[in-house]
Amino acid sequence: MKKCYALLCAYDGSRFAGFQRQPPLPTVQGSLEAALERLGIRASVEGAGRTDRGVHACRHVVAFRTAEPVDPDALPDRLAAHLPEGLVVIAARIVPYSFHPRFSARHKVYRYRVTTSPAPGDWAGRHTWALPDPRGFPELTHSVRLDRSAMERALELCRGLHDFALLAHPNARGKTVRILSEASLRVHGQGEEAVYEFTFRSRGFLRHQIRNIVGMTVSAGLGLVDEAEVRRLLGGEGERWRGARAPGRGLTFLEAGYAPDEDPFPRAS
């Protein structure tokens, strides 16, 4: 009889072409399935989120089903020998057969980091959006100053129930109406050393939704977008967002939240 197993994973997205398998490109899903097959387990892996190229993850839950006997306590160490650098399985659990890491989730949380440091370090360069960035804002060639209050106002407008069709990929699947329960900003440090940390929480996100919201919000912080334009985009009127889309490297999947009796990896209280 088949059983369902959940894995808690973390990965450096700069080493992968996203989560979803895209042979022959290196992906998280493909790497996990290949590692399982090396252990004699042929199974399809499903994830809590389908992160894009360059997007990182801290607590990404995935699951697979198999009739092969599996010791979940030993599985992380057994998989480690067959996983590429940058991908780690932190823990494994047997879960109810009906569990699905994406459909069972009550919410998902993402973080996006932006820095105005002219020379970010190696880690920051792979995990933040460093401004000025000629690909996002070709007109900016000097040091950048962001208006925090303008960005917080843009995020405030984004919170709640909206049709995000104009701020998502044109081919985004499913309904484009979403409830964004959190869209917040914290600033760490000052001046050129400041790091702007955005947090987003929702039951589900559309493809490119967060990266476009960040691009729009940073544009507001640069004085390139006003409140009326933000309202228009959220109202679903006119053309979709044509401005900067934040690159994947600044985005991290923090966690998926589940009901207490369904959470395979509850945090210690």
For 119, 135, 207, 259, the CA distances from 177, given in Å and listed in that order, are: 39, 29, 13, 23
Tokens of 91: 């823990």
Active site residues: 52
Task: Write the burial class of residue 206 (CB in 10 Å: 0-12 exposed, 13-18 middle, 19+ buried).
Answer: buried
* Torsions phi, psi for 127 (to 5 deg): -125, 5
**Using CA atoms in the order 242, 210, 206, 200, what is the torsion angle rounded to 10 degrees?**
-150
- How far does the chain reach from its first CA to its final CA, in angstroms? 34
Tokens of 226: 């006003």
Query: SS3 for 7?
Result: strand
CB contact at 8 A, 137 and 244: yes
pLDDT in tens, the chain (269 residues): 899 999 999 999 999 999 999 999 999 999 999 999 999 999 999 999 999 999 999 999 999 999 999 999 999 999 999 999 999 999 999 999 999 999 999 999 999 999 987 665 555 567 899 998 888 898 887 778 999 999 999 999 999 999 999 999 998 767 899 999 999 999 998 877 789 999 999 999 999 999 999 999 999 999 999 999 999 999 988 999 999 999 999 999 999 999 999 999 998 75
Any idea how long the chain is?
A: 269
Spell out the domains of the chain, with CATH numbers in brackets: 3-103 (3.30.70.580), 107-254 (3.30.70.660)
Q: Cα angle vertex 53, ends 246, 182, to 5°?
A: 50
| Residue indicated by tokens 């001046």 | 191
Q: How many CA atoms lie within 13 A of 140 on its CB side?
A: 20
CB contact at 8 A, 109 and 258: no
Give the closest residue to 250 by CA, choosing from 211, 219, 217, 222: 211
